[in-house]
Amino acid sequence: MATITEMNETVEMRIGKETYSLPVVTGTYNEKGIDISQLLSQTKHVTLDTGFKNTGSTMSSITFIDGAKGILQHRGYPIEQLADQATFTELMLLLLNGELPTQQELSTFEDNLKAHVGLKGGLKRLLDAMPENTHPMCMLSVMVNALPGFYRANLDSWSDEQVRWDSIYFILANLPVMTAYIYRHHHRLAYIDPDPSLGYVENFLYMMFGEVDEDVADALDALLVLHGDHEQNCSAATVRVAGSSHVNLFSAIGAGVNALWGPLHGGANQAVLEMLEAIREDGGDVERYINKAKDKDDPFRLMGFGHRVYKNYDPRARVIKKYVDRVLGKLGKEDPVVDIAKGLEKAALADDYFSSRKLFPNVDFYSGIIYRAMGIPVDMFTVMFALGRLPGWISQWAEMRTNNEPIGRPRQVYIGPATRDYVPIDQR
Ligand code: CMC
């Protein structure tokens, strides 16, 4: 049997008659982490933590979350302030460099992004070759994963600082291009070339719709800021683990795109809208769906509710909820699912099942309603999430490489059959 007791900045672990001393690391806000990096060699034991629910994989200085209090900060700045006051390109530099940029630094950065806009014709032909009804996240995955083939000079995207930044500028500059092209291919519309005179978000909207509404651009900028980074979530952890093999940046980001797609992660924004629509078509009986979500024999879950880290209202959801009425009002749009969403939230927050498990609306609960009001189709929502999350993925990758972290390689506890002899097929 093992017991753990904390002693100053070490903890003691007793296994059988042996006592081992494990160092404790302390974070900015006094969070404690037991450093078990020598555990296996010292004790012949590994830890077991399926889903990494209690396992810190790194010491990071990018994003801080206090899930119990509902706090999210990037490089120390509260998300509410960033969403209201920072632009998405400003956030990119904050995440990448650790400090808010000066006006000069921001202008140079934006010029560099513009200088990198443009995809080789072969990539467009690759997209053209895909059936129009392919899911947009599959199209994004194909395009991002094809980049190393088209931009071979970036295959080692770390050793040389100039190549590194070239890779970073390139993918940041062109993910909006890919997203717009995917949308247009999906809807059998002609591609619109980028307009270098426009800002990052405006240019994206222009390539999507051929016109730019400033109110939409402002709201989208804020939505992208809200998605910028979220510490060691499923896709960021995937980017870090894939990148820890020293694969190029594009391929590490491609791994993150695939991880994001699932409905338990970035795919939840699409799943929320589909759920709200299904409830509306079914007569709008919110209580029935609350009961389904609570029923352990029913696979239905309330999409957009619950979070691995937040055991309080997701601060991003709070900001997005503010934007729902603002954006719909400004665009003069009404959406019948808004009332269903608000009704679901009210019923869930008043229900003991959800409050006892600390299940609150997450970032995906209201974001889809805004995307749809902007004219972005439901199956593009997760691609929009990827667009917002890209600077976070790059920053997590860069931090992992800067720290020279070892290759990500978890252990396991093997519970399969013990050694046995091969039986020839005619004797089985
Ligand atoms: N509806 C109904 N019950 C739920 C829900 C939900 N949305 N989420 C969690 N629960 C229950 C779950 O059944 C379990 O109950 P019990 O203790 O009785 O077995 C308890 O709450 C704990 O849930 P868990 O699945 O063990 O928690 P987790 O940390 O493994 O999963 C989650 C977190 C986000 C995957 C989960 O809450 C979920 O599936 N939510 C719906 C999908 C969703 O909205 N995902 C977007 C996450 S935010 C965007 C992002 O960062 O990707």
DSSP codes of every residue in 19-74: EEEEEEEE-TT--EEE--TTHHHHHS-----GGGTT------SSEEEETTTTEEEE
- Is the entire prediction scored with pTM above 0.85? yes
- Closest residue to atom 14 of ligand 1, CA basis: 357
In the 8-state DSSP scheme, what is residue 15?
E
Res 153: pLDDT: 82
* Rounded distance from Cα 360 to ligand 1 centre (Å): 10
Would you state the torsion angle of the CA atoms of residues 323, 72, 171, 121, taken in this order, to the nearest 10 degrees?
-30
Structural domains in the chain, CATH included, are 3-66 (2.20.28), 80-410 (1.10.580.10)
Given a contact cutoff of 8 angstroms between Cβ atoms, the answer to whether 65 and 362 are in contact is no
Question: Which of 252, 251, 256 shows the shortest CA–CA distance to 234?
Answer: 256
Active site residues: 307, 364
The residues, ordered by sequence, that sit 6+ positions from 70 with a Cβ below 8 Å of its Cβ are 310, 312, 313, 314, 315, 318
Q: Which atom of ligand 1 is nearest to the CA of 260?
A: 52
Q: Which atom of ligand 1 is nearest to the CA of 304?
A: 44
In the 8-state DSSP scheme, what is residue 418?
P
For the chain, state the CA radius of gyration.
23
Res 176: pLDDT: 98
Res 8: pLDDT: 64
Res 7: pLDDT: 59
pLDDT in tens, 78-107: 999 999 999 999 999 999 999 999 999 999
Q: Which atom of ligand 1 is nearest to the CA of 235?
A: 52
Q: For ligand 1, which residues put their CB under 6 angstroms from it?
A: 230, 233, 264-266, 268, 293, 301-308, 357, 359, 362-364
* Rounded distance from Cα 222 to ligand 1 centre (Å): 26
Instruction: Write out residues in the chain with pLDDT < 70, as ranges.
Output: 1-8
Inter-CA distances, 359 with 169, 198, 294, 315, 325, Å:
38, 41, 12, 13, 23
* Rounded distance from Cα 265 to ligand 1 centre (Å): 10
Res 326: pLDDT: 82
48: how many CB neighbours lie within 10 A of its CB? 9
Res 4: pLDDT: 64
* Rounded distance from Cα 289 to ligand 1 centre (Å): 16
